[in-house]
Structure 1
Amino acid sequence: MTKTQHFIFILVEDFAHLAFSNAVEPLRIANHIRGEELYTFSLGAEDGQSVRASNATVTLVDHGLDNLPRCDRLFVLSGLQMRNRITPALLAMLRRERTRGTNIGALCSGAYILAKAGFLNGQKCAIHWDYHDSFMEEFPEIPLVRNVFVADEKNITASGGSATADLMLHLIERDHGRDLAVAVADQMVYTAVREATAEQRVSLQSRNGMRNPHLTKAIARMQDHIEDPISPSIIAEDIGISTRQLERLFGRYLNTSPKKYFMELRLERARHLLLQTEMSVTEIACACGFEATGHFTRVYKGAYGVTPTAQKAKLG
């Protein structure tokens, strides 16, 4: 008989319920299909009683953080405001489990917690795309990838949502073969199972119905130069077209100009950093390619109707 594997999911206040469901249901379905207990799982939280998800539902748990049983895998699952949910007790539990030799992973925004604990140095990791900007600013030494999950490192990570199901199906296939993983996906009516290397966000081509490689390359160049913006003429030269051609492409496909689109990318990055980090307005302005804080403030207010300083004050 196959050895039963036990997973523990540590649920952090405001955890993402979608990621939670996509984590536990593939395990339950695998047991159902095979008619045996391939996997068991239990839940943990700081108070050892219950924990609230970001959708306001409350989940009862089996363990506190100081009395965890032995397990084959432990996953930290968080969601919104994960920075404010990191406690000494949570970090102590993770370090204790690492000392015990437990396989530790993270789901959704949980990679941030593992990074804070010092677990991810030198490892590739995945986190929900909404946290990419702030994660890269805070942990520049950690090679963050845009993949849906990373399963070939000591600490495996998934970016949340349906990516969690992709990871679980990957583990089921690794443990019990592809046929079972496909059968579980079929039961979930999940027909678009992704490999680890798939990107989280819908590609620009898919989102806009575009198939123009020049436009895709131009936007990639912009994304690479948020901190040190380059002009549309340099972008056009880099990708081998004229500035006029570049203007026409942005007008045709995106109904905007290259200059305006680039500014929107920089402001979107700035907004993420304002909402998700403790960086000062001056630091954020610099990180998004604005030489003067006053100019950044005017442009940001024009786009979002509030100054960067007021935006941060709302969070306080």
Structure 2
Amino acid sequence: MSIRERHQPPATEGPLTFAVLVFPGFPMMAFSSVIEPLRAANVLAKRECYRWIIVGAAEGPVEASNGVVIQPGFFAENAPKVDRVVVCSGGDADHLVAEDAVGWIRRSLRGGAHIGAVADAAFFLARAGLLDGHACTLHWTSQAAFTEAFPDIELRRDLYVIDRKRFTSAGGVGSLDMMLEIITSDYGPELAAGVAEWFVHSPLRSSVDRKLMPLRLRTGVQNELVLSAIAIMEDAVEERLGMAELAVKLGVSSDKLERNFRSELNISPNGYYRRLRLKRAADLLAHSTLMVRDVALACGFASMSSFARAFREEHGHAPKVARRH
């Protein structure tokens, strides 16, 4: 039996409509990962389970980060009521201002819509107060800046997070996984599995996999001990965790921790931790408005001079050069 023949979703009153709100520089992979699963679901179900429209924040074509230009069918001021709104923006989401778009999203929310974001677009929703009281995620390069900007919003370092009427993904393949779970909720696991098979994608990941996968993808680390150590390091950037204390948390000796790091990454645990803190500093400088001194403190450096020296050694330039704005 082909995948086209075995996936019949339960009946609903009518198709669910998604609106993808795009901003200049939006990531095409995350954008496609939202729309293509909907198309595949319709083909496999042999009926219209979903509809979708593209909405621009303002009139005119919108260029993706890869240079592809699309023409939205609607603009925020005239966009219709939909069931789901997905905001898709690039790395400047922390600076986006679009009052018409926010107004349309609020009207959609009052009408019962679910609101989502892919890649860095959680920044846009958070600044509008649309993530208050909800957990979320976004692209890993912006997570540090997001935490600093919105300390009261629960940020989860997952590929995607679905929390009641809010859904967010880190972008890329995380958006596809998120859509598969949404399709599961809407029409059942059989149709979602068919969509995953359509795109030659692995089955839906467990919640544990979703937590470890982003870290594994970013670091390339396979060693479970090293991976667990890095996860703890990432949560303790500001407090300067000692390596002996880290070993205790992991239930191993300091020597074993050292051997595993050098075998997997050819660097000491302390050296990796220092590099991680300096990478976090670069991300904060690029994606936040924190003063350089505050960035240093947020990354575990008590001395401004030691931070500047370490940053230059790691990145080849002074911290102020990393400022994007």
Specify the alignment match of 1:230 in structure 2: 241
Specify the alignment match of 1:132 in structure 2: 143
Specify the alignment match of 2:222 in structure 1: 209
| Residue identity in the other structure for 2:291 | S
Counterpart contact for 1:274–1:308, Cα < 8 Å: yes
State the alpha-carbon separation in 1 of the partners of residues 268 and 74 from structure 2: 55
Q: Of 112, 123, 130, which residue of structure 2 is paired with 1:112?
A: 123
Give the drift of 1:160: 1.1
CA pair 105-283 structure 1, distance change in 2 beyond 3 A = same
State the alpha-carbon separation in 1 of the partners of residues 294 and 218 from structure 2: 33
| Residue identity in the other structure for 1:168 | M
Give the drift of 1:4: 1.3
| Residue identity in the other structure for 1:179 | E
Specify the alignment match of 1:9 in structure 2: 20
Three-state SS of the structure 2 residue aligned to 1:74 is strand
The answer as to 2:31 corresponding to 1:20 is yes
State the alpha-carbon separation in 2 of the partners of residues 117 and 80 from structure 1: 17
State the alpha-carbon separation in 2 of the partners of residues 103 and 140 from structure 1: 23
More moved, 282-291 vs 238-247: 238-247
| Residue identity in the other structure for 2:92 | Q
CA pair 305-82 structure 1, distance change in 2 beyond 3 A = same
CA pair 241-69 structure 1, distance change in 2 beyond 3 A = closer
State the alpha-carbon separation in 1 of the partners of residues 218 and 122 from structure 2: 28
Give the drift of 1:272: 0.6
Give the drift of 1:37: 1.3
State the alpha-carbon separation in 1 of the partners of residues 60 and 305 from structure 2: 49
Specify the alignment match of 2:8 in structure 1: none
Give the drift of 1:206: 8.8
Q: Of 120, 132, 139, which residue of structure 2 is paired with 1:121?
A: 132
Specify the alignment match of 2:200 in structure 1: 189
| Residue identity in the other structure for 2:16 | Q
CA pair 181-301 structure 1, distance change in 2 beyond 3 A = same
CA pair 56-195 structure 1, distance change in 2 beyond 3 A = farther
Give the drift of 1:259: 2.0
State the alpha-carbon separation in 1 of the partners of residues 145 and 51 from structure 2: 35
Three-state SS of the structure 2 residue aligned to 1:151 is strand
TM-score, scaled relative to structure 1: 0.91
Task: Kindly report which structure 2 residues correspond to 1:18-167, keeping only aligned pairs within 5 A, or say none.
Answer: 18-167=29-178
State the alpha-carbon separation in 2 of the partners of residues 31 and 303 from structure 1: 50
Counterpart contact for 1:12–1:45, Cα < 8 Å: yes
State the alpha-carbon separation in 2 of the partners of residues 196 and 11 from structure 1: 28
Which stretches in structure 1 are left out of the alignment for 5+ residues? none
Task: Kindly report which structure 2 residues correspond to 1:173-184, keeping only aligned pairs within 5 A, or say none.
Answer: 173-184=184-195
Q: Of 290, 293, 297, which residue of structure 2 is paired with 1:286?
A: 297
Q: Sequence identity of aligned pairs in percent? A: 33
| Residue identity in the other structure for 1:126 | T
Task: Kindly report which structure 2 residues correspond to 1:230-309, keeping only aligned pairs within 5 A, or say none.
Answer: 230-309=241-320
Task: State the Cα deviation string for residues 204-226 of structure 1 (Å, max 9, x = none).
Answer: 89933324x3x444433322321
CA pair 225-196 structure 1, distance change in 2 beyond 3 A = closer
| Residue identity in the other structure for 1:159 | A
Counterpart contact for 2:257–2:269, Cα < 8 Å: yes
CA pair 216-102 structure 1, distance change in 2 beyond 3 A = closer
Three-state SS of the structure 2 residue aligned to 1:49 is coil
Task: State the Cα deviation string for residues 1-42 of structure 1 (Å, max 9, x = none).
Answer: 641111111011111110111111111111112222111111
Counterpart contact for 1:14–1:53, Cα < 8 Å: yes
More moved, 95-104 vs 62-71: 95-104
| Residue identity in the other structure for 1:8 | A
Three-state SS of the structure 1 residue aligned to 2:118 is strand
Three-state SS of the structure 2 residue aligned to 1:112 is helix
CA pair 148-304 structure 1, distance change in 2 beyond 3 A = same
Give the drift of 1:268: 0.9
Give the drift of 1:196: 5.3
CA pair 205-269 structure 1, distance change in 2 beyond 3 A = closer
How large is the RMSD of aligned CA atoms in angstroms? Answer: 2.2
| Residue identity in the other structure for 1:171 | I
Give the drift of 1:238: 4.0
Greater than 6 Å deviation, 4+ residue runs = none
TM-score, scaled relative to structure 2: 0.88
| Residue identity in the other structure for 2:220 | R
